[in-house]
Structure 1
Amino acid sequence: MMNQIIDFFSSIPPVWAALLATLFCWFLTAVGASFVLLFKKVNQVVLDGMLGFTGGVMIAASFWSLLAPAIAMTGGEGFRKVMPAAIGFIGGALFLFALDKLLPHLHLNHADDEVEGLKSGWQKTTLLVFAITLHNIPEGLAVGVLFGGVAVGIPEASVAGALTLAIGIGIQNLPEGIAVAMPLRRMGMSRGKSFMYGQASALVEPIAGVVGALSVAFFTPILPYALAFAAGAMIFVVVEEVIPETQRNGNNDIATLGVIGGFVVMMLLDVALG
């Protein structure tokens, strides 16, 4: 089955492949958000464990799917070989840092006076969704960049690797959809609106995926930098948002085990399939 999927994605233009793969990631976010239509609430312990799982997947994907290929495809030895990855990684983290400081957003389960970024008159629900939207930009970008590498024929970038990354991100998007929609429901929003806002938070992924694929296709030398850029952005999100969020409710042990589980699942997927 996996071979047939790889063959199909290999037969279509990489930009279209990036779009379809990131639409799959969005779809699983929508599946997670749809839980709000079936259940009134999700136990906070379970929610923190799932958030920890998403963090573990993102950490593993940052290394196995992004940093390791970025280093492998760079010529030279010693510092010369690792510098593009280091520069890209720092650039990605600083990019998310700048967005975090400039764009108004509110993390899950934070009080109204904990809004980050520039002041705005946006509603709390909009600020919450915007926070998760920022979270999803590097995920879509990472998938798109790998497909872009396939387009220009770089050996370290494969369709199988790009699909594996998309599968891993999709898996962690499912609990992420739950984690967005359920708090909105608890705030008094209707089931339908909670679902719509929850799934909308991942709509940026297909856009970022196409942008990533196009950028590498037109500027091939940037691929190692672009892969590491996506990794740096993802690690920033995990450290600044995901892990602290899992520690706010006293469920530290469950959240930590969730991170370990997510890391192992993504590592197995990447090594076995990618």
Structure 2
Amino acid sequence: MGRKTKVALTVGAASVAAWAASKVVVKQEPRAEKKALQFSEIAVLANVDIAEDPSVHLLTAYTNAADLGVHGFAVNIRLTKDEEIILAPSHDLQLTGVIADYTLAELQNEKLPVIDDSESLADQEASSIVSLRELLETFPQLLHVISMSDSPDTYEGSLIPSKLWRLLKEMDAADRVVVTSSYDEQIDRFNLYAQNSVALGAGNEEIKKAYVAYSSKFGHLYKPNADLFCLPEKIGVFPLASDGFVQFLQQLNITVLYELTNTVDIQKLSKLEIAGFITTEPKQVLSYFNEN
């Protein structure tokens, strides 16, 4: 047996020993139960998109989705100039700046037309802007997965975690929302105020960290910082739609929802025993589960 072979065997044995020791020493800590994430059936959350028909007011589009029987909504939020939290428009507005350059009243009352080359601007409806407060007031019975879209490096991004916390406290809405962001830093900032009293979603880095821990066989070392994972089928090279990964998260009391962009995948994804789906096609998804 050569020297290199002996070294490789020694390193391998040391790795196995370290793995075994860590299994003994480290005790996994599942997330505490969150009332907002207790589902009695497959949950269908609507990601409302009015880009294809901007003549429909946004609140009307949410009402239409609620009438279908969805369990809640997934929304992106931004902060206005006067520090009001609004639902980020799913379509482009003809603005001479960004959302943070306008007050809520300016966005709601000014006839800001949707950019659409198929119609003259004069014929288009005024842009529909809805505040998060209005959405929470209108649909108090539904779950709201709220994603902070403003970058933490911006002024409005630095404010929105505290503004959101105050709004949820004022409206007594902490038990019917999940707060998340693609920016993990924003979730951490929000939780400085919430102190785990509100269900938290996983940011992009948290999802990657969990998947690396799972796939490396050192999953017992992973300590989750989120109660909900909203998963696309993959992030980069990470194939997230797998039984093993879902079971790994569920053992940590993490709820899993999949972002369903193509309903042809629903049969495959429904076999993963996940909690539900976030979709722009709620009618089709609800019909599928009503029929199956």
Structure with more strand by fraction: 2
Question: Quick one: higher RCO (CA 8 Å, sep 6+), 1 or 2?
Answer: 1
Q: What is the TM-score when the length of structure 1 is the normalising length?
A: 0.24
Structure with more helix by fraction: 1
Name the larger-Rg structure: 2
